[in-house]
């Protein structure tokens, strides 16, 4: 490492100690790429590490996490969405560089855009009204993510002025946007809890959505009707001898699951000291040994129930309900308002949405149900596609998560480098076993 001339030896030592060491290996395991990170421990560093992997839409098949004392060590088994190991050198280099810099904290820029934050009561056609207001106010939607859960909606929308093509900085216009959108969110029955805000700060969109829904207390609300039967199972027990609360989660596996859980534990100010994550078939099994940042385990039954509620909500928010529709077409002013109005006029409710633009093209994803949350009628879907354009709006299945069966020799080393990493992983698992944190070290 090249050091500035003014850097003294003490500063160099601190930098070396705080900079994570990253090892990426494609030899040890025949079915997954191993990513190992060890570094000095600080609050949220686990979340930052998981964020690097999930932002690339990688699936974490297994993970072993240990962070007692002032050091933490994580081992992740990752695959791509097709179930393959990571082979692209540019991706591997990006992961190594990104994980190696997480001691600085991870931030995401808004690229000079204005961020609109919206929360309120969900209803059919609400998103259509929001986009119609933005079009009327001469705001171009560049990116947006919309989540709904338990009858609530949270949305983070990045906009720019139609004429200026950049951040909206006029205070009077910003105030006008907030007032108009708040009136839309209030409707007739959400006078108190509907909220809008405008931000110029950098943020990670999905982490911010979790924070918005947590603040909105979506975990305390009861949905009107839910046809999804894949509800997560969350249990919490205290291990008094070691001073941990042990959290177990069993649910359907999906991309970004670990991020969603760790994000909420971090925002609730709990620290993960040890964890094991395993997937079998399409099921995920997550076990966390946690304490509050004050050093104490969960201390009361109301606190335990609240953590259970929050973790269930964290898993469910991104769980997709409804038919997945992908819109890919040339961008034009008012396109989103037009498309979502068509959904509303045909009784379709948008349960989740991801809007993105690249150049003069849009690539949007919508998940839609009928008005009460049941699967949409295929005939209505086809009618909507004809109105918007069959070639522009397509029905797509959810991306399949491939879980390869454990091959013979899965944990056998291939070469000296493989043997070294196998020893590291075995050492970690043996330490967890000796501490009584896992049932087997095999």
Per residue in 415-436, pLDDT (tens digit) is 434 443 444 455 455 555 545 5
Q: What is the pLDDT of residue 13?
A: 54
Residue 21 shares a structural domain with residue 119? no
158 within 8 A of 115, measured Cβ to Cβ: yes
Would you say residue 439 lies in a domain?
Answer: yes
Residue 119 shares a structural domain with residue 36? no
Q: CA 415 → CA 11, 25, 30, 119, distances in Å?
A: 37, 11, 13, 54
Task: Give the burial class of 225: count Cβ atoms within 10 A of its Cβ; 0-12 exposed, 13-18 middle, 19 or more buried.
Answer: exposed
Residue 186 shares a structural domain with residue 61? no
Residue 87 shares a structural domain with residue 194? no
Gap between the Cα atoms of 158 and 350, Å rounded? 19
Residue 206 shares a structural domain with residue 119? yes
Q: What is the pLDDT of residue 41?
A: 79
Cβ-Cβ contacts under 8 Å for 269 (sequence gap 6 or more): 292, 293
Residue 212 shares a structural domain with residue 340? yes
Q: How many CB atoms lie within 10 A of CB 7?
A: 12
Gap between the Cα atoms of 273 and 234, Å rounded? 18
Gap between the Cα atoms of 283 and 120, Å rounded? 32
Residue 5 shares a structural domain with residue 85? yes
357 within 8 A of 145, measured Cβ to Cβ: no
Q: What is the pLDDT of residue 103?
A: 64
Would you say residue 77 lies in a domain?
Answer: yes
Residue 124 shares a structural domain with residue 90? no
Residue 150 shares a structural domain with residue 204? yes
Would you say residue 172 lies in a domain?
Answer: yes
314 closest CA partner among 249, 368, 377: 249
Q: Look at residue 93 and give its three-state secondary structure.
A: helix
Residue 98 shares a structural domain with residue 123? no
DSSP letter at 173? H
Would you say residue 254 lies in a domain?
Answer: no
Cβ-Cβ contacts under 8 Å for 298 (sequence gap 6 or more): 236, 238, 245, 290, 292, 304, 307
78 within 8 A of 38, measured Cβ to Cβ: no
Q: What is the pLDDT of residue 331?
A: 93
Would you say residue 63 lies in a domain?
Answer: yes
272 within 8 A of 247, measured Cβ to Cβ: no
Q: What's 202's domain CATH number?
A: 3.30.70.260
Would you say residue 286 lies in a domain?
Answer: no
Q: How many helices (H) and strands (E) does the chain have?
A: 11, 16
Would you say residue 272 lies in a domain?
Answer: no
Would you say residue 248 lies in a domain?
Answer: no
How many domains would you assign to the chain? 2
What pLDDT, in 10s, does the model give residues 112-151? 788 999 999 999 999 999 999 999 998 999 999 999 999 9
Range of the domain at 94: 1-105+416-442
Residue 178 shares a structural domain with residue 197? yes
Local confidence pLDDT in tens for the 442 residues of the chain: 554 555 566 555 555 566 789 999 999 999 999 999 998 878 888 999 999 999 999 999 999 999 877 788 999 999 998 999 999 999 999 999 999 888 665 545 446 788 999 999 999 999 999 999 999 998 999 999 999 999 999 999 999 877 655 566 677 888 889 999 999 998 777 766 789 998 877 679 999 999 999 999 999 877 654 545 578 999 999 998 999 999 999 999 999 999 999 999 999 999 999 999 999 988 999 999 999 999 999 999 999 999 999 999 999 999 878 999 999 999 998 999 999 999 999 999 999 999 999 889 999 999 999 998 899 999 999 999 999 999 999 998 765 555 554 443 444 333 434 443 444 455 455 555 545 555 555 4
Residue 420 shares a structural domain with residue 387? no
């Amino acid at each position: 490492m090249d050091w500035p001339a003014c850097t003294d030896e003490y500063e160099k030592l601190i930098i070396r100690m705080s900079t994570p060491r990253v090892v990426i290996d494609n030899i040890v395991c025949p079915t997954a790429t191993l990513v190992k990170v060890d570094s000095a421990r600080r609050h949220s560093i686990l979340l930052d590490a998981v964020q690097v992997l999930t932002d690339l839409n990688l699936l974490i098949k297994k993970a072993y996490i240990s962070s007692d004392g002032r050091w933490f060590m994580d081992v992740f088994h990752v695959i791509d969405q097709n179930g393959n190991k990571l082979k692209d050198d540019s991706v591997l280099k990006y992961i190594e560089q990104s994980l190696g810099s997480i001691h600085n904290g991870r931030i995401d820029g808004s690229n000079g855009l204005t961020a609109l934050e919206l929360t309120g009561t969900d209803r059919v056609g609400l998103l259509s009204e929001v986009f119609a207001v933005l079009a009327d106010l001469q705001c171009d939607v560049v990116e947006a993510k919309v989540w709904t859960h338990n009858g609530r909606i949270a949305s983070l929308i990045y906009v720019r002025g139609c004429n200026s093509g950049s951040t909206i900085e006029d205070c009077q216009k910003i105030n006008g946007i907030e007032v108009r959108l708040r009136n839309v969110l209030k409707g007739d029955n959400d006078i108190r809890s509907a909220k809008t805000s405008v931000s110029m700060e950098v943020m990670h969109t999905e982490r911010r959505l979790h924070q918005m829904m947590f603040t909105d207390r979506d975990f305390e609300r009861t949905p009107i009707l839910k046809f999804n039967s894949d509800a997560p199972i969350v249990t919490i027990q205290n291990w008094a001898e070691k001073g941990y609360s042990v959290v177990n989660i069993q649910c359907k596996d999906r991309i970004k699951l670990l991020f969603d859980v760790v994000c909420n534990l971090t925002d609730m100010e709990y620290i993960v000291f040890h964890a094991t994550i395993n997937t079998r078939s399409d099921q995920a099994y997550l076990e966390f040994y946690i304490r509050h940042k004050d050093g104490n385990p969960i201390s009361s039954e109301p606190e335990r129930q609240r953590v259970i509620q929050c973790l269930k909500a964290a898993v469910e928010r991104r769980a997709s309900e409804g038919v997945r529709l992908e819109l890919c077409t040339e961008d034009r002013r008012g396109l989103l308002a037009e498309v979502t109005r068509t959904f509303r006029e045909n009784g379709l409710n948008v349960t989740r949405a991801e809007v993105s633009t690249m150049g003069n093209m849009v690539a949007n994803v919508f998940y839609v149900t009928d008005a009460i949350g049941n699967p949409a009628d295929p005939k209505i879907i086809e009618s909507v596609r004809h109105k918007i354009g069959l070639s522009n709006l397509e029905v797509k299945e959810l991306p399949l998560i491939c879980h390869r069966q454990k091959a013979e020799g899965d944990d056998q080393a291939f070469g000296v480098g493989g043997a070294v990493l196998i020893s590291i992983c075995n050492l970690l698992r043996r330490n967890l076993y000796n501490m009584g944190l896992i049932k087997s070290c095999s």
